Structure 1
Amino acid sequence: MTIKDIKEMLSNEELTDVQFIELKRDERKGVQKLLQQFELKKQKLAKQLLEHRTRLEFELDLYAKQNLSYIAGIDEVGRGPLAGPVVAASVILPRDMDDLVGINDSKSLSHAKRVEYAQLIKEVAIAYSIIEIDNSVIDKVNILEATKVAMLKSVSELPIKPQHLLIDALNLNTDIPQTKIIKGDERSISIAAASIIAKVYRDELMLCYHQLYPEFEFDKNMGYGTKNHLNALQQFGYTPIHRQSFSPVSHTTSIYNSRKTK
């Protein structure tokens, strides 16, 4: 077989044990390199499958013990930034989640991977909802309460009422049974899915805000207090999307004026 033939065979994962042994004996450097890449890919997939099964434990336990059909994972994005909304998402996934191997906490994924997974999650999910609570509400009720409002509204906006909630690190005031999971976005696939679609939604929103307020580099910091963001805040003042209850925004007296950039 030519190296091109072998590459195509390995890319399609069409490899029997006998073929594997034969390729191991092939002394061509190109073949051995391809075989090494193939083995690394298999090891990565095996690790992903193991992690996938681990992140299914909460869901599978509820399916088995309570015979539930609709379990919602809930997570939020944007509690820490100085600007922009807090965004919460609720996701009800099907029992068969083999299509979602590789889904993990949104913070551990690249932007491109989050966008890819967000689309997949929306296609696979039985139901999902995404809710944003803007900075004016955050300033009025505080960020923790605004987060809970966003989470509860995301649950109520689901077209199907969930039978159980899996929530990342919070308890919600609802009659629906719930499980609070510390580091839930790492330990539950339903919560991880919610974190991904919430993150992608908020990032896209902050990219739009960047067009309005380019001096703050929202396209890079997503509203978090980076050095350049803080310098812009001092130079140009706070914008309508800044959280005035957050320091150092609360110590900024001037309102944003784009004419200062000219």
Structure 2
Amino acid sequence: MCRWLAYSGQPVLLGDLLYKPEHSLIDQSLHARMGVETTNGDGFGIGWYGPHVETPAVIRDTGPAWNNRNLREIAAHVRSPLFFAHVRASTGTAVQQTNCHPFRHGRWMWMHNGAITDFPRLRRELALAVDPSLFSELEGSTDSEVMFYLAVTFGLDQDAPGAVARMAGFVERAGRRAGVEHPLQMTVAVADGERLWTFRYSSSHTSRSLFYSSRVDSVRALHPDLEVLRGMSDETRLVVSEPLRDLPGLWNEVPESSYGVVQPGTDELLPFEPVAA
């Protein structure tokens, strides 16, 4: 499958999180501990929001993240308060730039780990449900991109959790009509530049790994000598496929069939259930 990281908080250098932790996302691209595959070298992508720009910047490439000089250069100079990073292990679709995450539409970014089971059989029905005005924006051949544009079709702009629930419900209904017992496996991150939503769900209720960081003030109280925590704001939050370092009290597993909202003020963790589109 894949490994990903989503960050929200005070602006940080992307490289501080992509490269410096002992089990950073770059390390996970070679040595994943909790994924289906150990190596995630079928492309990578980063997306970030900058000041005074409504739409995010997105960089994607088909090579492995661990030896990409351009990624290291960008990560050492770009600061952002909200960014995504993704390393890909293909589930069967081509290794090409348009299949790398994150995906972008207007102010929205999306990335995914998981799969739609028997996607080649379901692809036509799912793709044709995408709003005709959006269809030309489907550039690649992945299930992840189709899921994104289904969510946009089902009202992502108005109600992000509801749109993702309707997307999941539509995929499950199409799959089960085709005789697929467990059609959907997903951990998803989606952001609009102000808020970040993350989802953990699968039809079999055995979803891929996903963790969120504890409040910075509580971790700082446990580890007052840890220098990296001193400059972080209390609003800082990370959601990751795998913990970036072993530190007691830092990481919490996202519960099965749930979603989180990272936003100014109080974050939320709520149950998630697909609904009929």
TM-score (norm 1): 0.25
TM-score (norm 2): 0.24
Bigger helix fraction: 1
Bigger strand fraction: 2
